[in-house]
A = this chain, B = another copy of it.
Amino acid sequence: MTNLCVVLVRTRNPLNVGAVARAMSNFGVMELRAVRPYGKAWREAKSAVGAGELLARAKEFADLSEAVADCSLVVGTTAVGNREMKHPLRGLEEGAQLIGKRMKSGRVAVLFGSEKWGLSNEDLSYCHWLMRVPTRVEHRSMNLGQAAAVVMYELGGRGSKGGKGSKGKEKVIDNDSLKSGATLRKQEREEFAEMETVERIGEALLEALRKSGYIAARGEVKAEEKLRRMLRRFSLEVGDAEVLLGMVRKILWKLEQDR
C-alpha cells in the first residue's frame, strides 16, 4: 500500500478532509496529497484533534501536475463519468484490481474532486481512466467521505482479514504475486513512465504544435487537455517515454531554428 496515494483536488470542507484521512487510515492507505485545498479548511483539518500522523504528513501542491508527478498511473473518481474526455470508465471492483497490479511496479494516485463540482475537465486530462462506485442511477452522487471510505475499503480492506492487521493484507498481495509470477503478461512486467516525464513530452509537443500552427490560439486550452489525455492513453513505458521525449524535443528545436 506504500505505492498508493490519495489526491484531494480543491476540497473545501474540513470535515470531509478529516473523513477521507480517517477512512484511509482505517484501511491502511497512508499517503494523502492535496491540490489547492481551501486554505482554512486545510488548516482546520490538519489541526483537528485526532487528525493523526497521516494528516500531519499530508502534503499540499499548487497544481495537480505537480501532485502526481511521481505516479505512473492516475485514476479519477467520478459519480457520472465524463463523455467529453472519452476516458475508459471502470467499476470500482475492476478498477481496484487493476490498481492493485499497477502498485507493484509504480506509484498510483487516486483522485477525488471538490464536494460541489467533482473533477474538472482539466483535472480529468491528467487521468488515465476513471473509476465509479456502483451507486443507483436514481441516486448516483455520494458524500465525499463516504465515497472515499468505500474506495479505500475495496482497495485496502476487502480481501484482507482485517482482524489480523497488516498480516492479512500482505497475504493477499503475496497470493497475487505468486499467481502472476508465472503468467505475467508483458504489460505487467514493464515499468510505466512517471507523469513528470509524460508531462514534459506533452509540453514539448504542445509547443511544437503551436509553433507549427496546428493549434489555433483560440482553442488552446481544449487542445492542451485533449493532448494530455491522448498521451495518457498511450500508457508509455519508461524507455519509450524517454525516446518520445527526445524526438519531440528535437522537432521543437528544429521548429525554433526555422522561425
Interface residues, chain A, CB within 8 Å of chain B?
19, 22-23, 25-28, 89, 91-93, 132-140, 142-143, 145-150, 153-154, 157-166, 168
Known contacts A134-B162, A138-B165; 15 additional CB pairs below 8 A are A19-B146, A22-B142, A23-B146, A25-B136, A25-B139, A26-B139, A28-B136, A134-B157, A135-B157, A137-B163, A137-B166, A145-B146, A147-B149, A149-B150, A150-B150
Q: Which residues of B contact A161 (CB under 8 A)?
A: 91, 134
For the complex, give the distance between the alpha carbons of A108 and B149 in Å.
Answer: 24
Partner of A160, one of B134, B138, B166: B134
Number of identical monomers bound together in the oligomeric complex: 2
**Interchain CA distance A136-B140 in the complex, whole Å:** 29
CB distance A136 to B26 under 8 Å? yes
A132 neighbours in B (Cβ, 8 Å)? 162-163
Residues in B whose Cβ lies below 8 Å from that of A165: 136-138
Q: A208 to B160: give the CA distance in the assembly, Å.
A: 46
Within the complex, what minimum Cβ distance (angstroms) separates A40 from chain B? Answer: 20
CB contacts (< 8 Å) of A134 on chain B: these are 153, 157-158, 160-163, 168
Give the distance in Å from the alpha carbon of A224 to the alpha carbon of B38 in the complex. Answer: 53
24 contacts between A and B (CB under 8 A): A19-B143, A19-B145, A19-B146, A22-B139, A22-B142, A25-B136, A25-B138, A25-B139, A26-B136, A27-B135, A89-B163, A91-B161, A91-B162, A132-B163, A134-B163, A134-B168, A137-B165, A138-B166, A146-B146, A149-B149, A149-B150, A150-B153, A153-B153, A154-B158
